[in-house]
Amino acid sequence: MESRVSTSAADALCSVSRVTRLRTVLLLGVPHFDNPGRDMGHVEMDDVLSSTRQAEIRTIIDDLLGFEPTVVAVERPVESQGRIDEAYKVSCAGERHLGRSEAEQLGFRVAQLARLRAPRGIDVIDVFYDPSIEEFIERHPELKRHLDGMWSSPRAEAAASEQQLSEMTMPEYVKVTNTREARRRVLQPYIEYLESGHGRRGIRSVGPDGAR
């Protein structure tokens, strides 16, 4: 007896397969290469266009290419995608030198070498401070003192990063600053701030180790 699967059933199975297929994402955290000075913990970078740093950046790029990326995303506003596309296009054509930013030194170069479309801007321009959270904090002096202390850590982390960069190659620096522990330490002040809003947790802990 011939076995048949109806078209509708096959379509349903394919649909489920597409939905449940997992994508692997590699996240890389680095300081802003072009020193925009917009962060609370500002890392003063040296010249990433120097021959030494360029060789180190190429090592990082080669490692990233080993991941075999199919899409590259960068910390640039979603609204700036048109400008990203144009800058990438003329850079690929050799009509424009790459800028100092990590979006171009890493993002553009990885995308170019992997023969991908322009990196996607995924950042959202928003005001981080929420007035309702600020009001709640002001009504709880102990919480306010705790958070004031926490906000000193980004500046301390930035100072530590500058020291590390003066002593390490960039590949070495990227390796030690992208561990789970290092990322959690850097993000902790922001997480605690958001969790303090209205006396309830603004961000839920997920995963067996409580990672957000």
Asked whether the beta carbons of 191 and 203 are under 8 A apart, the reply is: yes
Neighbours of 18 (CB within 10 A): 8
From residue 153, alpha-carbon distances to 129, 146, 184 in Å are: 17, 12, 12
Residue 200 lies in domain: 127-212
120, β-bridge pairs: 73
- pTM over cut 0.85: no
Looking at the domain assignment, is residue 4 inside a domain? no
Cβ-proximal residues to 69 (8 Å cutoff; 6+ apart), any chain: 26, 110, 111, 114, 116
Looking at the domain assignment, is residue 171 inside a domain? yes
The residue from 73, 93, 125 where one domain ends is: 125
Considering the domain architecture, whether residues 88 and 171 belong to the same structural domain is answered as no
The residue from 125, 146, 178 where one domain ends is: 125
Chain segment 185-200, per-residue pLDDT in tens: 777 777 776 666 544 4
- Collapse the DSSP code of 73 into the 3-class scheme (helix H, G, I; strand E, B; otherwise coil) and give the result: strand
Chain segment 31-72, per-residue pLDDT in tens: 888 876 566 667 788 899 999 999 999 999 999 999 999 999
Asked whether the beta carbons of 88 and 119 are under 8 A apart, the reply is: yes
- Give the Cα separation of 95 and 116 in Å (integer): 18
Considering the domain architecture, whether residues 207 and 136 belong to the same structural domain is answered as yes
pLDDT > 60? residue 135: yes
Considering the domain architecture, whether residues 134 and 204 belong to the same structural domain is answered as yes
Considering the domain architecture, whether residues 116 and 50 belong to the same structural domain is answered as yes
Considering the domain architecture, whether residues 97 and 120 belong to the same structural domain is answered as yes
* Structural domains in the chain (count): 2
